[in-house]
Structure 1
């Protein structure tokens, strides 16, 4: 298991995107967090294996409804000592 940071840009704030990500993460048993960034993007910290992360990214790219518009998903490996025991939305 590794820790990955995803930065999602597009129309991802004010449209239920964080909750959508949380449902995907819980369905795939991914641990971590999702939060809005001040620039309009959304940051996801995900602790999982590569295959499961790829499944998450594919589902994120297929928005739940017409108001979500995904422009880009940047993926960066992180070195974190913290181990998450669940997935949560950070407000």
Structure 2
């Protein structure tokens, strides 16, 4: 299954962003993981059907996930084939 690696930049750490990404993923039925990076960005690994995946990305880009977060940019930095995932989790 096609897997997307996204980088969210802006005020995305210390505001519950990972937890709300997880809730959104369950709501729109996508899979993967979310992780804080040392440089202040958040990495999202994402799998899902086209419409579901696009809904997730759109809500993240438009700051509809968390009122305390401020996503300034969401970059797709890689796509690749990976083993199919069946949940969405926070990585530490």
TM above 0.5, one fold? Answer: yes
- Report if the CA contact (8 A) 1:2-1:49 is conserved: no
- Tell me what 2:85 maps to: 84
Runs of 4 or more above 4 Å deviation = none
- Report if the CA contact (8 A) 1:9-1:72 is conserved: yes
For these two proteins, the number of residue pairs brought into alignment is 90
Unpaired runs of 5+ residues, structure 1, are none
Q: Distance in 1 between matches of 2:82 and 2:11?
A: 32
- Tell me what 2:55 maps to: 55
Question: RMSD across aligned C-alpha pairs, in angstroms?
Answer: 1.4
Deviation at 1:37, TM superposition (A): 0.6
Q: Distance in 2 between matches of 1:39 and 1:80?
A: 26
Deviation at 1:80, TM superposition (A): 3.8
Unpaired runs of 5+ residues, structure 2, are none
Provide the TM-score with structure 1 as the length reference.
0.88
Stretch of structure 1 that moved more, 54-63 or 6-15: 54-63
Provide the TM-score with structure 2 as the length reference.
0.87
- Report if the CA contact (8 A) 1:5-1:75 is conserved: yes
Stretch of structure 1 that moved more, 32-41 or 55-64: 55-64
